[in-house]
Amino acid sequence: MSNVHAELNYSVDNGRQIEYYFYEPDPDQALNPPGTESHVMQIRDGWPLAETFSLDREGFEIKPFAGGFMDYGDEEAIETVFYPQVVDFVKQHTGARRVEVFDRTIRRRLPADLSQQTEEKRPAVLLVHSDYTVDSGPARVRDILPDEAENLLGGRVAFYNVWKPLFETVEELPLACCDAQTSTEADMLLMNLRYRERTGEIYVMRHSPDHKWWYFPRMTPSQALLLKTYDSKTDGRARFMGHSAFEDPSSPPNALKRQSIELRTMAFF
């Protein structure tokens, strides 16, 4: 097993609203950014237990992803060929009756310069977070499917991220997943995402020594992680799952630069 110890960037609950800006804020704005408290955590190699992880228990699973799609530079092909593959993948592994892909992001090592980032091309996120909150999950359904939302929200709704390498084996900046059984509601801190035209919200996480972290070193394009980022059910199953990219100390000096795609989906049961 290739367990490692690495820094993960947690956030601090200091009584002030945590915010992240996707533009340069007013210089007079008092900032309270996330990820200001780093902790070295053990991150365990999940491959020996890959068949045992559960979306409803730990909050993540890793599965083979067939299809061989590689045309990530073609917007139309992504939506007409790749999206249906993702929909089938999520249905197969969750039992959902309907799945909608509503967002995608290609992640690479990018400059910190915000002008080089777009909604669809961003750097890897070196921040412990979960993508949706109790409020922003239902709000996203209303945004994407306004005419059907109230009816759909009457049943179970869950959001799943599909995370996979683009072209090559991941040799650096892998993704770490926090076992949802080892985090609590109190660990989740609300953070505002400030865009010029809107404000969203996600959870960042405060540190706990109880958190148990896993990763899957050297993932290939024929494999994909499923991450649960929201679940409307409150029956004890995982609802939110913290995750973060991290600097892997076992990466080779000449490691290939990580290129991955992350698709956000909403699933209805």
Cβ 44 vs Cβ 214: under 8 Å: yes
Contacts (Cβ under 8 Å, ≥6 apart) of 156: 231, 232, 233, 268, 269
Confirm if 181 and 53 have CB atoms less than 8 A apart.
Answer: no
Per-residue pLDDT of 55-112, as tens digits, reads 999 999 999 999 889 999 999 999 999 999 999 999 999 999 999 999 999 987 654 4
CA 218 – CA 168 distance, rounded (Å): 9
Distance CA 153, CA 65 (A): 29
How far is Cα 55 from Cα 61, in angstroms, rounded to an integer? 6
Tell me, what's the pLDDT at 117? 41
Distances, alpha carbon 70 to alpha carbons 74, 82, 104, 164, in Å: 9, 9, 15, 12
What are 149-179's pLDDT values in tens digits?
999 999 999 999 999 999 999 999 999 999 9
What is the DSSP code (8-state) at residue 181?
G
CB 230 within 8 A of CB 158: yes
Q: Please, are residues 8 and 179 in contact by the beta-carbon 8 Å criterion? A: no
* pLDDT of amino acid 268: 98
Query: Which segment of 80-89, 113-122, 173-182, 257-266 scores lowest on mean pLDDT?
Result: 113-122
Q: How far apart are CA 263 and CA 130, in angstroms?
A: 14
Residue % of the chain over a pLDDT of 90: 83
Confidence of residue 122 (pLDDT cuts 50, 70, 90): low
pLDDT at 2: 85
What pLDDT is recorded for position 119? 44
pLDDT for position 24: 86
Q: How far apart are CA 167 and CA 169, in angstroms?
A: 7
Q: What is the CA radius of gyration of the chain?
A: 18
State how far the alpha carbon of 42 is from the alpha carbons of 45, 142, 257, in Å.
10, 39, 23
The amino acid sitting at 125 is V
User: Does residue 154 contact residue 168 with C-beta atoms inside 8 Å?
Assistant: no
Q: In percent, how much of the chain has pLDDT > 70?
A: 94
pLDDT of the residue at 196: 87
pLDDT for 115 equals: 40
